[in-house]
Amino acid sequence: MGKYNSQKKQVLDCIMSLVAKGFVQGTGGNVSLLLEDGSAVAITPTQREYATMTPDDICIVDFDLNPLEESGTAPSMETAMHLAIYRSRPDVGAVVHTHQIFASVFSLISEPIPALFDEVSGAIGPKVEIVPYALSGSKELADNVVSKLGNRANCYILQNHGALSLGRDLNHAARNAELLEKAAQVYYYALTTGRTVSVLPQNVQDLMSLIVTGRQDEEIKRRRG
């Protein structure tokens, strides 16, 4: 048994679940899990077909991108972006990057998704912001993502690219990706009617924001002991 087998299996199970939902295809998208001690991450490899992936293909790298275990694969080209998120958001324990269809629609029209449903906003935050475009795997993209993390939301849309969903663990990050897709799909159809789209009242949005940040603060406190 390898030292990181459990974490590798969790990452593989998560990415395969996203494949089954159509949120990632082929070799696109990536998933990472922060190790409990916060020293390294388990992350999907680059340019590897998910259909043939095994736990041994999942990479373990520290925050200087040094491999901690031989996997025979290179980590995702977006690893630096994942690491930048963990550095900036101490509440985050897992990152899911997807190319899900309806969220990707809004990545092309650069339209943020407002607060539409309390059960969604209470999990991902009142507003899904657009992260300005930069080339995949570039430092500029990582910097652009970090520039938006201050709103403490759990979902973001990458312009002309896809979506990011964050969570305290992989289950929550993947669930947030599902909630994002629900909001994006319904918002898309609502916009096609040409009618005014109602959003949650501001006082409810403020409450949802407090709920999200309160949970994040609890997670930060737990991690810091």
C-alpha dist (Å) from residue 67 to 45, 81, 117, 191, 220: 12, 16, 42, 46, 26
C-alpha dist (Å) from residue 1 to 4, 6, 36, 40, 197: 8, 9, 18, 19, 53
The pLDDT tens digits for 159-217 are 999 999 999 999 999 999 999 999 999 999 999 999 999 999 999 999 999 999 999 99
Residue 132 · residue 185 · CB < 8 Å:
no
The pLDDT tens digits for 98-153 are 999 999 999 999 999 999 999 999 999 999 999 999 999 999 999 999 999 999 99
Q: Which domains does the chain have, with CATH numbers?
A: 5-224 (3.40.225.10)
Encoded tokens for 149: 């993390």
Catalytic residue, from 78, 178, 181, 219: name it.
78
The whole model's pTM is what?
A: 0.96
Active site residue 36: no
